[in-house]
Each structure stands twice: as structure tokens, then as C-alpha cells.
Homo-oligomer: A and B are copies of this chain.
């Protein structure tokens, strides 16, 4: 049974194999390589994570260097850092040299700067320099995601020559980006792209330029990962070329890194939407203090924001004292606003992430959401209106009122106003945050709810003053 077939409730394959490896490490480490030869590096990484930390260096040394580098790539960040601290700088450098340039940069970025410097010094000079260049980009932009190992050829060569380049690259042990071949014009600028599939299908004797696509979908090195993901997903690309302003190919982001980037971006978005800072580690492995720190910040900000609700109620205390029944509906009304606001915010944040909505669309969105808000407000407002009247007719009120119709109008009107306002504010907040240079996903459901709580109370009491003045107030 392969790992992806098991349900999450079954024991992973790694747990079955780890004890054997442990025994071999003590008795005959030389046999380990053969024993695990057929395993996927991702599974071997799981095995490594189950071994005692002090045996990790021995385990990695027992594997051929290229294989060990593969496993290193899939290893949990914390375990990897520990291993690279425990190995000598020379051994660590040898291991990292066997990784692709983008993975090298990713791994070194996790280490503390001095250690990374030590390892870089032990590396082959050309590889070290290439890695240092990649390290200059943030890990969540195209420049930080790209690998510099790709195939680019003169556009004038023949298809056969290009295929030979691909074969040579495959044999060289380089691992990335051989399924697309990029062509260069005489000035060395990116001029076209042809997939390995198209190269294999090309009529013999043709030039690469004849079969290549001349309009190449591309991103600048500063494009953020969402944009890279969109290019890959909209155009079904196996690799997204990263191109400098002068038109030169700098590297490619391969599809496996695109998937990882999408997953990470989405994890971040969902966590921010939930009203907290994004975690850098999986839920189950993050440390206690880290977790509290990531959660308490927003909770405290929202708590302070909520203090204004107390102020709003205090301000209207006189009215509340006169019309007791108004107190009953405070949570109902502010929740209605918070809920409709959460809906609008989640919708807009997702549409922005998918590129369906651009910043200049704010006005169209505002009009749409105002309209949706009005209709939703009307529907929910009617429910609120009926709630008051039905309870009154049935005699269920423990706080009877002399003016049921006016109270019903107050509640219905307040719900209507709060829902409309919630939809509008919820939809505009992501635009505002983006305008301020912040991540729109920070407009979390709790943030919108808190914002709408305070204004919701003010709307509620204003409607009450308007409707009840002269009768109950």
C-alpha cells in the first residue's frame, strides 16, 4: 500500500520502516542505501523525522549524496535546521550542493545567517554565487521561488539539437525544468518557449523557432506568489518563466513550487480570515508561546475595539432604561451586521486572490454590495419585524410593550440598516487595506464584525430614537 492510499487513520509507512533503519544504523549503516532505494524521498523524510536527532547525521551520511539531498528537501523545517547545525560545514555544503538552486536558497534562508555564511563558503564558488543571488529575493516572490536550472537555447538551432540539450540535462542529474525549452534571440533575450512534448512531436529537420510559441507568458522577479500561481493556473503551465526588465530569462518557477506556494498562500489567507497572524508551522508542531503570540495580538486589538460598544451603550443608557425591550435585541442586531459583513469580506478577498477583481473595480463592487445589502437587509429586517409581532401576539414577551408595531418597526429597520451597512463595509475593507499596502486578507471576519458592532449599535439606537420619539422615548 502506498502512502497516498492510506486514510489518515492508518499507520504511515514511515512508522513501519523506522525501527529497521534504527537497527541498521547500529549494525551495518552501509546497507541502508540499498534497503530504502525504492522509497520516495518524501517517505524517507518521514522516516528521518522519526529517528532520534543524534542519529540523523549518520543516517544522511549513509545515503548517496544526491539521494540525501532529495530527502533533505522534503524534511520538516525544524529537523532540517537541526541536522544542518549538527553536520560539519563541509558535509552540509556537499549535501546542499546537490539540491536545485531554489531549494538551496530556501534551506539556507532557514538557518541563522552566520551558519548559512559558513556553509556557503564551503560550497563550489559558482553554486554559492548563484544561491546568494536567489537569497536576495523574498521567498514569496517569483525571484525567491524560481530555480536557475532550466534549458535555454539559441532560437536558430534545430529541433534535434534542442532534444539533445534536453537529454544532456536529464543525464546531468539536474532535476528541474526540462519539460519546457526556452529560446533566446541574438541579444540573448527570451524569445519563445516550446514544450518537450512539442519538441518530440516536431517534424524532423525543423528549427526550434518554427515550433516554439513566440508569446511567452512570463512574470517579473518581483511578482508575488499569487500572481505566479495565477499565470500557471490560467495558462496550464508546467513552469512559469521569470524575466528581467530587459527581457532576459532569470529562472523558472516549476509547477511543484507553484502548488506549494498556492497551499501556503491559502493557509495564510484562511488563518488571517480567522482573525489571527499566519502561522509559519503546522498546527500540531507549533510551539505553545508562538501560538499564543500569533493569536493574542488580534484578539487584544479586537477587544479594545469592542470597548467602544460599551461606550455606545453607555451613551444610550437613558433610552435603554426607558424602553427595556431594546436591550433584548442588542446581540441579535450586531450579529446580523457582523455576519453579513463576514460574507462580503470573504467573497471579495477570495475574488481578489483569484484576480477576478482588481483595485479599480471598487466602485462596481460597492454598487453591487449596496444592492445585495439592501435586499438581504430587507429579508432579514422582515424576519426581525415579524419576531417582535409574533411574540407579542402569542403573549410570549416577559417584557410587554404598549407599542408592539413601533418596536417591530425599530427592530426591523435596525436590522435592515445594519445588514446593508455590514455588506458595504465588509466589501470595501479589503480594497482599503490593499490601498494602504496591507494584505486584503487581514480584513478578517472578526475584524469586520467588531467594526460593525460599534456602528451597528449606533444605527440601532438612532433608528429607535427616530421611530419611538414622542411615544416611548
Does A219 lie within 8 Å of B282, measured CB to CB?
Answer: no
User: Which residue on chain B has the smallest CB distance to residue A292?
Assistant: B375
Is A328 in contact with chain B by the CB < 8 A criterion? Answer: yes
A39-B215, A358-B8 known; A342 and B446 CB under 8 Å? Answer: yes
The stretch of A27-35, A86-94, A116-124, A296-304 that contacts the partner chain: A296-304
Say yes or no: A357 contacts B283, CB within 8 Å: yes
Q: In the complex, which residues of chain B have a beta carbon less than 8 angstroms from the beta carbon of A175?
A: 197
A259 x B256 contact (CB < 8 A) = no
Looking at the assembled complex, report how far the CB atom of A251 sits from the nearest CB atom of chain B, in whole angstroms. Answer: 15
Q: Assess whether A113 is interfacial by the CB under 8 Å rule.
A: no
Q: Bound state CA distance, A310 and B332, in angstroms?
A: 7
For the complex, give the distance between the alpha carbons of A398 and B318 in Å: 10
| Bound complex: CA A259 to CA B220 (Å) | 21
Contacts of A457 in B (CB 8 A): 331
CB atoms of A359 and B284 under 8 A apart: no
Q: Is A183 an interface residue (CB 8 A)?
A: no
**7 nearest A-B pairs in the assembled complex, by CB-CB distance:** A274-B346, A8-B358, A309-B331, A445-B445, A170-B200, A4-B231, A283-B351
Q: Hey, which bits of chain A sit against chain B, CB under 8 A?
A: 2-5, 8-9, 38-40, 42-43, 166-167, 170-171, 173, 175, 178-179, 196-198, 200-201, 213-220, 227, 229-236, 238, 240, 255-256, 258-260, 262-263, 266-267, 269-271, 273-276, 279, 282-284, 288, 291-292, 295-296, 298-300, 302-304, 306-307, 309-310, 313-314, 317, 320-321, 324, 327-332, 334-336, 338-340, 342-351, 354-361, 364, 371-372, 375-376, 379-380, 383-384, 387, 397-399, 415, 419, 444-446, 449-450, 453, 457
Copies in the complex: 2
Residues of B within 8 A of A347 (CB): 271, 274, 276, 279, 283
Report how far A37 CA is from B301 CA in the complex, Å: 56
Find A445's partner among B263, B273, B320 (CB 8 Å cutoff): B273
Considering only CB atoms, which chain B residue lies closest to A198 in the complex?
A: B170
| Chain B residues in 8 Å Cβ range of A283 | 347-348, 350-351, 356-357
- The docked-state distance in angstroms from the alpha carbon of A276 to that of B341 is 11
Q: Would A260 and B233 count as touching, CB distance under 8 A?
A: yes
Q: Contacts A42-B236, A263-B354 given; 10 further ones with Cβ under 8 A?
A: A4-B217, A4-B219, A4-B235, A8-B360, A229-B263, A282-B356, A283-B350, A299-B419, A307-B332, A331-B457
Contact indicator B271/A350 (Cβ below 8 Å) = yes
List chain B residues, Cβ under 8 A from A260.
233
Identify the closest chain B residue to A3 (Cβ). B217
Q: Are B38 and A213 in contact (CB under 8 A)?
A: yes
Query: Please, how many angstroms separate the alpha-carbon atoms of A198 and B350 in the complex?
Result: 39
Nearest-Cβ distance from residue A63 to partner chain B, whole angstroms: 16
Instruction: Kindly state the separation between the CA atoms of A469 and B202 in the bound complex, as whole angstroms.
Output: 88
Partner of A329 from B310, B340, B387 at Cβ < 8 Å: B310
**Partner among B231, B262, B276, B346 whose Cβ is within 8 Å of the Cβ of A263:** B262
| Chain B positions within 8 Å of A359 at CB level | 8-9
A358 pairs with B274, CB closer than 8 A: no
**Contact in complex: A376, B299 (CB < 8 Å):** yes
| CB within 8 Å for A270 and B350 given contacts A4-B218, A9-B359, A295-B376 | yes
**Contact call B321/A306, Cβ cutoff below 8 A:** no
Do A274 and B5 contact each other (CB < 8 Å), given the known contacts A284-B356, A313-B331?
Answer: no
Bound-state Cα–Cα, A198 to B174, Å: 11
* Beta-carbon contact of A351 and B263 below 8 Å: no
When C-beta atoms are compared, the residue in chain B nearest to A268 turns out to be B350
Q: Are B267 and A350 in contact (CB under 8 A)?
A: yes
